Amino acid sequence: MRTDNDTWDITTSVGSTALFVAAARALEAQKPDPLAVDPFAEVFCRAVGGSWAALLDGKEPEHPLMSAEFGQHFVTFQAARTRYFDDYFHNATQAGVRQIVLLAAGLDSRAYRLDWPAGMTVYELDQPQVLEFKRDALAAHGATARAERREIAVDLRDDWQQALRDSGFRADQPSAWIAEGLLIYLPASAQEQLFTGVDSLANAGSHLAVEEGKPMDRDTFREKVHEAKSVDDERGQWWQLVYNEQHAPAAQWFAERGWVAEETTLIDYLKTVGRSVESADAEAANMLASITLVSAVKR
Ligand SMILES: C[S@@+](CC[C@H](N)C(=O)[O-])C[C@H]1O[C@@H](n2cnc3c(N)ncnc32)[C@H](O)[C@@H]1O
């Protein structure tokens, strides 16, 4: 279970969720017609080794990411999410933004993967051991960032705004932010602090994109957490890492503060990119139906 000041590395607690989604991206990249290709996702899995590397070699048939019921939909979800945020950054860059902030960067490799214009700075915020793993794995691979990349080792439940400013972030210049795969790991109070922090540092013309999920009803969630205690795999552990809370829907919260926000349900986005939205598995169907992708621009 979570505590207010818990910490982790890349293979434990919330840190391992970064590896889980990177593994999903690596599996997507193996498909003949991938929605998005993140070549560094495989690098991270191989750097950890063991079952994470074996998974990519088809040697972990029991891994949750391999199941037809859940894994296949989760991999597609991650691929769609990657594509959505990649396109969002392309648009923000075209609009002239030169400061990117990855809230909970995890194993996001966009600083190394996307074609950034000259003068771009990418700020990556996450817990210290997650950033350390990523730095070491990419250095061992010989990867070079395609933008000025600055790591900010913080807990996003603390005062991360000052740390960001201290690293050179300019609140008087437009910026583009993402919270991809983050909100569910924060209690509602920290979500509020996060949104407030973004709004206070974002100049007019700034962009924001968020992935969010609708909370489940409390009894169903409690049951899920209880059941998961007897399942000793990543999915079982995952239920014990998340907060079933939502401070406020992002589009509404930011619209009330002068941002123009647009929501796209994951289902609609999957249809746009030509991927299946049907699942016979209740958990996968609930996951697909509960996620919304939000983009906003500050006036
Ligand atoms: C599911 S991963 C998503 C990573 C990345 N955004 C992506 O989509 O690949 C969740 C990430 O959130 C980070 N995270 C969650 N809560 C955090 C907190 N309170 N402070 C710093 N990082 C946090 C974890 O360390 C992890 O890297």
Nearest-atom index, ligand 1, CA of 78: 8
**Distance between CA atoms of residues 10 and 195, nearest Å:** 25
Ligand 1 touching residue 21 (CB < 6 A): yes
Q: What residue's CA is closest to ligand 1, atom 12? A: 104
The confidence score (pLDDT) of residue 154 equals 98
Residue pair 6/185 in contact (Cβ under 8 Å)? The answer is: no
| CA–CA gap between residue 81 and residue 293 (Å, rounded) | 8
Low-confidence ranges of the chain (pLDDT < 70): none
Residue nearest to atom 16 of ligand 1 (CA): 185
pLDDT score, position 6: 97
Q: Determine which helix (DSSP H) or strand (DSSP E) holds 213, and give its type and residue range.
A: strand 207-213
- To which residue do tokens 């969720």 refer? 17
Distance, CA 233 to ligand 1 centroid (Å)?
Answer: 19
- pLDDT confidence of residue 14: 97
Contact predicate 53/45, CB 8 Å: yes
Using most ligand atoms within 8 A of CB, pick from 185, 192, 210, 239 the residue to mutate for ligand 1.
185
Q: Is the CB of 18 under 6 A from ligand 1?
A: yes
The ranges assigned to domains in the chain are 15-298
Q: Cα(127) to centroid of ligand 1, in Å? A: 8
Q: Confirm if 60 and 66 have CB atoms less than 8 A apart.
A: yes
The atom of ligand 1 lying closest to the CA of 17 is: 1
The neighbouring-strand residues paired with 260 are: 297
What is the predicted pLDDT for the residue at 47?
Answer: 98
Task: Tell me if 156 CB under 6 Å of ligand 1.
Answer: yes
Quick one: tokens of 255? 């619209």
Pocket of ligand 1 contains residue 104 by CB under 6 Å: yes
From the CA of 178, give the closest atom in ligand 1: 6
pLDDT of residue 283: 87
Look-up of token digits 């690098």: 43
> Tens digit of pLDDT for each residue in 214-233?
999 999 999 999 988 888 78
- pLDDT for residue 230: 86
User: Are β-strands 291-298 and 259-265 bridged in parallel, bridged antiparallel, or unpaired?
Assistant: antiparallel
Q: Is 174 near ligand 1, meaning CB less than 6 Å away? A: no
Give the residue carrying structure tokens 């191989």.
Answer: 46
What CATH topology corresponds to 15-298?
Rossmann fold (3.40.50)
Provide the pLDDT for residue 157. 97
Tens digit of pLDDT for each residue in 94-149?
999 999 999 999 999 999 999 999 999 999 999 999 999 999 999 999 999 999 99
Q: Is 162 exposed, middle or buried (0-12, 13-18, 19+ CB in 10 A)?
A: exposed
